[in-house]
Amino acid sequence: LMFWAPWNELSKVMRTPFRSIALANRHRAIFCLINVDNFKLACIHMQDLAERYAAEALPTFVLIKNNTVLGRVVGAKEEELRRTIASNV
């Protein structure tokens, strides 16, 4: 999951690398962009989702398998994100 917002500069920076990583791993994992602004309007449970995965800063990347968090990267840390995904998919 990538928690992001269009007004957040670091989110803008990380959208392209996230999409590139998602495309390269599309047969091994599901990648989701969660726009926290739109999600708040569409789903009353956004706060629950953000709290569940501790998405307190943007962007926040959370790797989940079978409802277990395997990894987390906060901020514009492309190499750390690539390493975290590579070691978990």
What pLDDT score was predicted for residue 73?
Answer: 97
Domains of the chain, by residue range, sit at 2-77
**pLDDT tens for residues 21-33?**
999 999 999 999 9
Q: What stretch of H or E contains 52? A: helix 46-52
What pLDDT score was predicted for residue 37?
Answer: 81
Structure tokens given for 84: 């975290």
Yes or no: say if 2 and 53 are a contact pair by the CB < 8 Å rule. no
Domain 2-77 has CATH 1.10.3720.10: no
What pLDDT score was predicted for residue 43?
Answer: 54
Residues in the chain with pLDDT values less than 70: 39-48
